[in-house]
Amino acid sequence: MILVLRALGIGDLATGVPALRALRRAFPDRTLALAAPAWLSPMVELIGGIDALVPCDGLEGRALPQASWAVNLHGRGPQSHRLLRRAHPERLYAFACPQAEHVDGPEWSDGEHEVRRWCRLLEWYGIPTDPTDLALLPPPVPPRAGVAVVHPGAKAAERHWPPQRFAAVARHLAARGFDVAVTGSAAERPIAECVAELAGLGEDSVLAGSTDPAELAGVVAHAKLVVSGDTGVAHLATAYRIPSVVLFGPVTPDLWGPPPDRPEHRALWRGPAVGSIGVEEVLAAVDEVTCAAAA
């Protein structure tokens, strides 16, 4: 068995898809198991080629099953390296980390795009990769398709664009005839409700907390537009090539942004403060990506 560790969130899993697909192609006859949070199971099925999900949410106090080979797509170590070492693999594919007594592997680079980072790791070990292989399998068609997704939440507070501005964008989209849906996790439902109320939308516009990862992927895959911060929904829009406007800060799109050669995606960045991005700039970007998608 090949055991791959990526015990993170939706966006992290989406950016690891090219590396996971590369492993599947390189070792078609081996069992490929992914150690990731159990709640991501519906989305793992959308990757294809993953034989088993090993529930793993975080690294503390975890015990992983024994594996012939282990691949660290989680981090630079040492904690993640040590966790995989406890699975007693014959081989460990990971970035060099002397603290974890792993001197094999390439050097970590802080200024590297997340997709490219994990592909470079595998390429160092002789496994060919395709960083453009970002597409997910088609999810089920949701009851509400063809919406404009507005996603105001993000895991880190410093990535939050003000809800009043998201509401202004949502209000403008609704005035243009879009059916607007405000998405998010259960924890993000209060901010989603705030945005919907400020935008003058009905309660049925709030989908936050009512979708699992695969259902959320379905909403995005069948959407007309996505406007969000730097979070998992943005990566779903990239995977399904749905026109998207993504607001970045403090991290730059050079590290987590959509492929720069796709005109249907627009990453906005005005320095470390995401609040430096204005409503009019977002609306102008919406026009750009929707026109590019229609061309």
Domain residue ranges of the chain, discontinuous segments joined by +: 2-124, 148-294
The pLDDT of residue 204:
95
Which residue type, as a one-letter code, is found at position 62? R
Q: How far apart (Å, rounded) are the C-alpha atoms in residues 159 and 141?
A: 30
Superfamily of domain covering 2-124: Glycogen Phosphorylase B; (3.40.50.2000)
| pLDDT level of residue 156 (50, 70, 90 thresholds) | confident
The pLDDT of residue 35:
97
Retrieve residue 221's tokens. Answer: 């895959």
Query: Residues 206-264: pLDDT tens digits?
Result: 999 999 999 999 999 999 999 999 999 999 999 999 999 999 999 999 999 999 999 99
Query: Residues 72-94: pLDDT tens digits?
Result: 999 999 999 999 999 999 999 99
Average pLDDT in the 194-200 region?
98
Q: What is the pTM of this model?
A: 0.95
Query: Residues 136-148: pLDDT tens digits?
Result: 999 988 988 999 9
Q: How far apart (Å, rounded) are the C-alpha atoms in residues 8 and 138?
A: 22
Retrieve residue 148's tokens. Answer: 């404009």
The pLDDT of residue 294:
87
DSSP label at 110?
T
Q: How far apart (Å, rounded) are the C-alpha atoms in residues 265 and 259?
A: 8
Query: Residues 23-77: pLDDT tens digits?
Result: 999 999 999 999 999 999 999 999 999 999 999 988 876 789 999 999 999 999 9
Non-local CB neighbours of 100 within 8 Å, separated by 6+ positions: 77, 78, 81, 82, 85
Retrieve residue 273's tokens. Answer: 């403060």
The pLDDT of residue 187:
94
Percent of the chain with pLDDT over 70: 100
Taking Cα atoms as reference points, which of 214, 182, 211 lies closest to residue 197?
182
Which residue type, as a one-letter code, is found at position 218? G
Query: Residues 101-148: pLDDT tens digits?
Result: 999 999 999 999 999 999 999 999 999 999 999 999 999 889 889 999
Taking Cα atoms as reference points, which of 255, 265, 272 lies closest to residue 292?
265
Task: Tell the burial category of 17 from Cβ atoms under 10 Å away from its Cβ (0-12, 13-18, 19+).
Answer: buried
| Residue corresponding to tokens 């909403």 | 219
Q: How far apart (Å, rounded) are the C-alpha atoms in residues 94 and 73?
A: 8
The pLDDT of residue 184:
96
The pLDDT of residue 60:
77
Same fold yes or no, 2-124 and 148-294: yes
The pLDDT of residue 59:
85
| pLDDT level of residue 20 (50, 70, 90 thresholds) | very high
Q: Phi first, then psi: what are they for 247, rounded to 5°? A: -100, 120
Confirm if 14 and 44 have CB atoms less than 8 A apart.
no
The pLDDT of residue 210:
94
Find out if CATH 3.60.70.12 is the number for domain 148-294. no
Q: Phi first, then psi: what are they for 151, rounded to 5°? A: -120, 95
The pLDDT of residue 143:
86
